[in-house]
């Protein structure tokens, strides 16, 4: 009896699937490197043109299916692939080279694609490097069509696809055959196949190295896309454990799904606004399906991380308008670029302490044109009056005053622009993130300058406790229930309320059920959480009494250790909340 085997990869799309493996192997494409004769040239060019036409037809079909399944925005990759084949100059260049160099069309096409690819591969940016796979896919499609090989996309329905690599096209086409999971040797979290799996809600684990050589066809597999684990040929105990996990996962999902539409209100009637954090456009599906939640944090960095450069004003307007429309009538808090820390531009200088370096608002105030362009794009997208603006990494009053001055200048420019002067939101709320200790100490003064606060505990905790948020060696010291953290949060909430402004939290602390109890007791007006835990946190809000959580806070503010606070919150959960969760 073959033994159970466990593989670890990158969790690319969450959820669990259990099923039979379908090994998807593509025949290696063969590039004809031999020279051709003068007489062969017209036929070679003709064949090449036909292959281009056929590839365009295939890609158009995939593009249409993709639009239907994952929406226009998520399908852009296919549009980009089509653009390569529609590029007349590119195609003409290849035709010219075939007749001049007397080499096969596949050889010249491969060479030209390699030229394009080497530019991408030399990028320091992971996202850009992963785009190499997308043009590789175009190469394979065209070369395959030149040798008239058919793509085999008829996989067994309901299976788990195991492949060395999957193209975005494969991922879409297989989903029509009810693929239950995707596992690949290659790929990263930002590969398009990973992005598309998330948009399709199909569990996926990528980067599992040589799994496609190990797994046998029809072998039973477990894909745990949340943990990044694949188990082949699971033994009876493992299978039972995962079947139970899957059953619970589905039960929980169904039960929690029932909470959508119900108010986010405590047992004693206090409304706590619940919103979500959005990092990537493909996460917008949650907002669109849920129809009731706003966006408490829209990180804009992904736009330059994806492109390796700042997006144009037009591209930004397109993105912000889409997000605002999709979220309307709820609000979207757009955060201006938070570059620096672990989110670097490919061209950024290496800094010895990037988290203490040229980050967030500091960079924007040094690059005023980029900052102005972003503010202008946000304002131009604000006609529905449901956008708020938020600055990251604020550490002084001067930064806020200076940003407001720049903001006013941009508004004045728009007041003189006939196209926008009457449609942009003149009263757009302007807020800041509280994520640096100096901003906490100045919270009272800062609150007088802005319309709202949003606490970024991911950074605030690292700066209060001097613990790098990404360093596994000190991960144990990164403590949300540290008394210094709880007391700090209390000061921020009190300063905001004393000055009659609202205070939200968008750090991941709000996405953890036990921590959410503390935040409710502290008086936060809004929790902005990961989409995947939105309903779970709503359940916590609906199962607790605000008065009781306030009493809990009054006692834990007297504790001096993390352990005492953690135990008190755990105990509160067991006694006061769990009984109300049915
Ligand atoms: C935070 O610091 O809590 C936050 C939400 O911002 P980011 O994680 O993007 O730094
Ligand atoms: Mg932050």
Q: How far is the CA of 120 from the centre of ligand 2 (A)?
A: 29
For residue 327, what are its two tokens? 């979220």
Residue bearing the bigger pLDDT, 372 or 127: 372
Ligand 1 centroid to Cα of residue 396, in Å, is 18
Res 284: pLDDT? 86
The CATH superfamily of 38-146 is: PtsI, HPr-binding domain (1.10.274.10)
Residue of 336, 456, 508 with the most ligand 1 atoms within 8 Å of its CB, for mutation: 456
CATH number at 5-26+152-254? 3.50.30.10
Long-range contacts of 51-55 (CB under 8 A, 24+ apart): 51/105, 51/142, 51/143, 51/145, 51/146, 52/85, 52/91, 52/142, 54/145, 55/85, 55/138, 55/141, 55/142, 55/145
Give residue-wise pLDDT tens across range 372-387: 999 999 999 999 999 9
Nearest ligand 1 atom, CA 506: 5
What DSSP state is assigned to residue 580? G
456 touches ligand 1 (CB under 6 Å): yes
Whether ligand 1 lies within 6 angstroms of the CB of 454 is answered as no
> Are 460 and 487 spatial neighbours (Cβ–Cβ below 8 Å)?
no
**Using the 8-state DSSP alphabet, how is residue 338 labeled?**
-
Atom of ligand 1 minimally distant from the CA of 392:
6
What average pLDDT does the structure give for the chain?
A: 90
- Where are the domains positioned within the chain? 5-26+152-254, 38-146
User: Is 301 a pocket residue for ligand 1 (Cβ < 6 Å)?
Assistant: no
Report yes or no: 516 and 502 within 8 Å, Cβ to Cβ: no
Ligand 1 atom nearest the C-alpha of 297 is: 5
Contacts of residue 246, Cβ cutoff 8 Å, sequence gap at least 6: 16, 17, 18
Verify whether residue 482 is a known catalytic residue.
no
Nearest-angstrom CA–CA distance, 428 and 424: 9
- How far is Cα 311 from Cα 77, in angstroms, rounded to an integer? 17
Please indicate whether residue 497 is annotated as part of the active site: no
The answer for 232, left when phi > 0, alpha when psi is -120 to 50, beta otherwise, is: beta
Q: What is the pTM of this model?
A: 0.70
Check 293, 364, 506, 544 and give the catalytic one.
506
Mutate which of 304, 360, 457, 506 for ligand 1? The one with the most ligand atoms within 8 Å of its CB, which is 506
Q: Whose CA is nearest to atom 3 of ligand 1?
A: 456
Most confident of 16-30, 106-120, 226-240: 226-240
pLDDT digits (tens, 9 = 90+) for 208-251: 988 999 999 999 999 999 889 999 999 999 999 999 989 988 88
pLDDT of 347 reads 57
In this structure, the chain runs to a length of 582
Distance of CA 321 to the CA centre of its chain: 18
| Cis peptide preceding 377, ω within 30 of 0 | no
- CB 457 near ligand 1, within 6 Å: yes
Is residue 67 classed as helix, strand or coil in its secondary structure? helix
Q: Quick check: CB of 225 below 6 Å from ligand 1?
A: no
Is 234 touching ligand 1 by the criterion CB < 6 Å? Answer: no
Closest ligand 1 atom to Cα of 507: 3
Ligand nearest to the CA of 510: 1
Residues 298-320: pLDDT tens digits?
Answer: 999 877 766 667 899 999 999 99
Residue 529's H or E segment, with its range, is strand 526-529
Calculate the alpha carbon distances from 215 to 158, 162, 202 in Å: 17, 8, 20
- For 69, phi and psi rounded to 5 degrees? -90, -40
């Amino acid at each position: 009896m073959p033994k159970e085997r466990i593989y670890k990869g990158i969790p690319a799309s969450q959820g669990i699937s259990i099923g039979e493996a379908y090994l998807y192997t593509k025949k290696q494409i063969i590039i004809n490197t031999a020279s051709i004769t003068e007489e062969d040239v017209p036929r070679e060019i003709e064949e090449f043109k036909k292959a281009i036409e056929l590839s365009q037809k295939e890609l158009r079909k995939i593009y249409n299916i993709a639009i239907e399944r994952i929406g226009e925005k998520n399908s852009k990759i296919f549009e980009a692939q089509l653009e390569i084949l529609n590029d007349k100059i590119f195609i003409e260049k290849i035709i010219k080279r075939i007749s001049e160099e007397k080499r096969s069309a596949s050889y010249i096409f491969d060479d030209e694609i390699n030229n394009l690819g080497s530019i991408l591969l030399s990028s320091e940016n992971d996202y850009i490097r992963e785009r190499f796979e997308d043009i590789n896919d175009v190469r394979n499609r065209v070369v395959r069509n030149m040798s008239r090989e058919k793509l085999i996309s008829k996989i067994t329905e309901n299976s788990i696809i195991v492949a060395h690599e999957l193209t975005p096209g494969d991922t879409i086409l297989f989903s029509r055959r009810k693929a239950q999971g995707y596992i690949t040797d290659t790929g990263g979290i930002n590969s398009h196949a990973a992005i598309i799996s998330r948009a399709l809600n199909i569990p996926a684990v990528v980067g599992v190295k040589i799994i496609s050589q190990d797994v046998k066809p029809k072998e039973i597999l477990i894909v745990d896309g949340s943990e990044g684990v694949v188990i082949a040929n699971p033994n009876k105990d493992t299978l039972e454990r995962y079947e139970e996990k899957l059953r619970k996962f589905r039960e929980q999902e169904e039960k929690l799904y029932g909470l959508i539409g119900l108010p986010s209100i405590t047992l004693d009637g206090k409304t706590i606004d619940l919103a979500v954090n959005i990092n990537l456009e493909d996460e917008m599906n949650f907002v669109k399906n849920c129809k009731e939640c706003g966006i408490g944090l829209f990180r804009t960095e992904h736009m330059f991380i994806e492109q390796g450069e700042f997006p144009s004003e037009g591209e930004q307007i397109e993105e912000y308008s889409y997000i605002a429309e999709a979220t309307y009538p709820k609000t979207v808090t757009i955060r201006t670029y938070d570059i620096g820390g672990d989110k670097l531009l490919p061209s950024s200088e290496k800094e010895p302490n990037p988290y203490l370096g040229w980050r967030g608002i500091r960079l924007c105030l040094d690059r005023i044109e980029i900052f102005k362009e972003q503010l202008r794009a946000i304002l131009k997208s604000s006609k529905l009056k449901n956008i708020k603006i938020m600055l990251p990494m604020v550490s002084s009053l001067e930064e806020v005053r200076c940003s407001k001055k720049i903001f006013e200048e941009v508004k004045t420019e728009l007041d003189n622009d006939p196209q926008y002067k009457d449609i942009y939101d003149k009263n757009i709320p302007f807020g800041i993130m509280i994520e640096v200790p100096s901003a906490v100490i100045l919270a009272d003064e800062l609150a007088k300058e802005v319309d709202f606060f949003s606490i970024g505990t991911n950074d605030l905790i690292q700066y209060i406790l001097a613990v790098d948020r990404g360093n596994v060696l000190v991960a144990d010291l990164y403590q949300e229930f540290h008394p210094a953290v709880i007391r700090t949060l209390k000061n921020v909430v009190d300063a905001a309320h004393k000055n009659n402004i609202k205070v939200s939290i968008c750090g991941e602390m709000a996405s953890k059920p036990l921590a959410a109890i503390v935040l409710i007791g502290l008086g936060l007006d809004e929790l902005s959480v990961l989409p995947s835990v939105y309903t779970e946190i709503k359940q916590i809000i609906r199962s607790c009494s605000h008065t009781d959580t306030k009493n809990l806070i009054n006692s834990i503010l007297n504790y001096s250790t993390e352990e005492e606070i953690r135990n008190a919150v755990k105990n509160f959960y067991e006694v006061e909340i769990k009984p109300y969760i049915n």
